[in-house]
Amino acid sequence: MRPIFTNATNGTDPFLVIGSVSSVTSVKSLVENLMIPKTEDLIGYKLMLAFTGHMPPARILDWIAHRPIGGFSLFRPHNYDNPAQVRELTAALQRAAREAGQAPLLIATDQEGGQLAAMGAGTTQFAGNMALGATRDPELALRVGRAIGLELAAMGVNVNYAPVLDLNTNPRNPSLGIRSFGDEPGPAAALGAAMVVGMQSAGVAATLKHFPGKGEAAVDSHYKMPVIAHSRERLDRIETPPFKAGIDAGAKLLMTGHFAIPALTGTSAYPATVARRVMTDYARGELGFEGVIITDALDMGAITQGAGQIIDVIAAVRAGVDLMLVMHDVDTQERLYGGLVLAYTRELIDESHIKPSLDRILTLKEWAAAQPQPEIDVVGCAEHRALEIELARRSITLVRDEAGLLPLRLAPDARIAAVMPAPKDLTPADTSSTITPHLASALRAHHPHVDEFVTEHLPGDTEIAALRQQLADYDLLVLGTINASMQPEQAVLANELLGLGIPTVTAALRTPYDLASYPAARTHLCTYSIQPASLDALAAALFGEFAPTGQLPVAALH
């Protein structure tokens, strides 16, 4: 590949120092005015690839050396060991791009907080969107967004696939839950816009997802295409305001949703991702979005897989989508790159589909390259840990205390049983399985005699019967559930233990709908998170260290 970004007068590297473009020609100008390859050679800029490795593998370095590329998405199981390693990885990728004469890379991840944290141990693990929804505080959301942004920027990540702006209007939505701020458009709009401002103030581009809103989905788009059967009036009134607020706040990216939206397209035959009436007419024309539109992951079941996938990708390009989020499969990466080049040479896509998109992508690259990189010691710093605790405490919600148990006043020799299910990834957009159960440890900070009982995530009859016997002599049960509203086995366990007649505190540790599955519970709280800070906050609230002030961010239990 000829160098795309070579200074025509002196041969110097225009991006020798990433983080400053003040003394170099803009990225766009370099593309427009210097040694420009044919348009089909630039199609690689429309791809965001993924790979496995804590450092760039040879295949990825070869791609960078010979083909333009938009950038890369990093994922916890494939690319993360610790913050310093990620900083080395991203530096190696950017160095390879410079040496190949390419523009700076977009490097992205899913650091949503809560159940989905693509950057793991060593980073600050915030409780997530629904916990923020319980605080109703945009200023807190701004500070959390900035902290997340600073940590990502320090690791060399310049795009975050967050915040989620879908409203969880369907309590049985299998793929959303606590990733949402709640089910009300007003608070979600204010919190989402604040997160955008905070994140981008730290030099990390925010991504609004999943446009135009999948809160009502009844199936997970990782496996099957949902159909969102709203009226246009409902869409404009409920789903759109958070996205409009995020757009008005200056969000750099918008992520497409792989679901059908007949109110905009007139059909349930294909997803919004491939619909020009959604991506261009609605997002850009009506809502005024001028940034980069990126697909959700293209390995999801809601999008055509296999050889036919290129048809959906071509349709997405024609619809006005800028970047394709391609996952790890090498054959898929090669097939889609080759297919897009062929589509251009066969005039299925043309200059009108490519040049405006490249302009937007290069504008984003230029913005990202101009951002300063914080020192690595900002990751997990004391200030961010304090903010993590603040969010956890302010989100704790007391739903009821009809039994008058709170604050707990126990005899020194009283025995507490702490019961919760083993954390599990309930969707592909989930890192909960990486979290060690922490309920008992949190309670032991306030009372010496606490025994831990971690059940199977879906406990069977034998385990439930044995647990009933084991717990019969305890003075207090603290029972945490994780999505019991959609896991009937957990609901059976909760109702069986409530039937023991022992004083019991129940806590919904993920979605707040669990109380409906065991309505006999008389003292009940919500944490919206199983992160250690949230369970520490729960324990502190139970023992009267502070009075819970969180508000339910969903109407189902109001």
Q: What is the largest CA-CA distance in the chain?
A: 83
- The dihedral of CA 441, 443, 446, 449: what is its sign? negative
* Residues 43/322, Cβ–Cβ less than 8 Å: no
* CB under 8 A, 24+ apart: contacts of 422-428: 422/454, 422/455, 422/456, 422/457, 423/457, 423/482, 423/530, 424/457, 424/482, 426/115, 426/174, 426/482, 426/483, 427/174, 427/175, 427/220, 427/222, 428/220, 428/222
Pairing verdict, β 116-117 and 111-113? antiparallel
b/e code 84-95 from CB counts within 10 Å (16+ = b): eebbbbbeebbe
The answer, yes or no, to whether the previous bond of 210 is cis (omega within 30 of 0) is yes
Using N-to-C axis directions, what is the helix angle for 461-471 and 488-498, rounded to 10°?
Answer: 30
- CA quadruple 336, 337, 340, 342: dihedral sign: negative
How far apart, in whole angstroms, are the C-alpha atoms of residue 558 and residue 551?
A: 10
Helix-then-strand count for the chain, H and E:
19, 16
> Which are the contacts of 326, defined by CB distance < 8 A and separation ≥ 6?
47, 48, 49, 50, 298, 332, 333, 336
Catalytic residue numbers, as ranges: 222, 296
Does residue 293 sit in helix, strand or coil?
strand
Phi (first) and psi of residue 305, to 5 degrees: -105, 170
How many degrees, rounded to 5, is the angle at CA 107 between CA 106 and CA 110? Answer: 125
Which residues on adjacent β-strands are paired with residue 253? 207, 292
d(CA 239, CA 20): 38
Report residue 456 CA to chain centroid gap: 26
Q: How far apart are CA 391 and CA 393, in angstroms?
A: 6
